[in-house]
Amino acid sequence: TAREVYKEEKRVRHDVRALVNCIRAKVSDRAKPYVHLTATSSDIVGSANALRYKDVVLKVLIPALTELLSVLVRQTLHEAATTQIGRTHGQHAVPLTFGFACAGYVNRLGESIEALRELAGALPGKFSGAVGAYNASALFFGNPEVFEKEVLAELGLSPAMHATQIVPPEAMTRLFAEITIVTGICANVADDMRQLARSEIGEVSEGFGAAQVGSSTMPHKRNPITFENVKSFWKIIVARTTLVFMDQISEHQRDLTNSASARTYGESIVYAVGIARRLTGAIKNLSVDRTRMAENLEKGKDAIIAEPLYILLASLGHPDAHERVRTLVAEARVVRCSLLEAVAKADDLAPYLSKMTLRQKKILSGETSYTGVAEKRARSIAAYWKRRFGV
């Protein structure tokens, strides 16, 4: 039992040898000599770590992330046609659809989940002895590499092509780098939703319980606490991943400078699962205010038509369309008129406006949405990942 091993460890002051002694005490005299024979501690611990991190990623983390992806796919399809003002540098840009924005999260998340699956499945084990050269097992086997392969196959692992006393750290480092990436994607989703929930924007809001309190002194507060929690957990993971990278260095065939830090790796996976589950719940209960999205779009109407106006003027032969539209925008701001009004008064643009098609004029007037193929792309991306993951 674990209790017996801990008791023995206090006596011998070596964790794996304590385990070996406890196992030897439970088996027959004939079997005793073979317990741990040809192995070093890291053959046991390194292979066990590969197995447990593989299992927890494949059986716990990826299912949690897949559920999040499923919820985001539904959100993407539900809001595929919901027009929203795009924002770059915190400023109004040009329109898209809220579903198209969500499709970006779906695509990034799907790619990262697939990378996690591949990296977790590629974690190697070892059973090659004290310095990785099969010194002990070569006493008995002409081809000890085959013996190692057979031992690890029992665990569903493959051996590293080369090992020292330890498994090469790069495979584990890559796995935790990807865990940091996937939780960074989650943090980006959370941060965007938190920004859209600002009082001044108000396009989405986090679900709020009937008895839930947002502030100890301000009764009106409804804070995006889950989205903030997600970002906070991600910060912890980023910091912890630095330890994984620092543990990449082990002198010569092995040192113990990772003896404490490596024991904390599992905590990052706990935080990652927590992020996935919290964010899934928040997106499931997300309230989307389409009216507010339309109002914000209307507020930025002038800015929205600047790009299509420039593009259309250039396509119709204007020699310096970008600069002409830029000066028009500046003039309209000074005299406090709309850009359309400024365009109508600009006699030099009349010949170009007369050549525009009815559809192009409707885009400039706001009668037709200037969203490109945002809705189409949102639906196709959602359909792709829905099909790929079977969600």
**Cβ atoms < 10 Å from Cβ of 241:** 20
Strand, coil or helix: 88: strand
CA distance 118 to 175: 9
CA distance 244 to 175: 10
DSSP annotation of 338: -
Backbone dihedral region for residue 69 (phi beyond 0: left; psi -120 to 50: alpha; all else: beta): alpha
**Which residue is it, tokens 């920004």?**
195
Backbone φ and ψ of 97, nearest 5°: -120, 155
Look up residue 361 and give its amino acid: K
CA distance 52 to 296: 49
Beta bridge partners of 88: 91
| Residues carrying an active site annotation | 89, 215
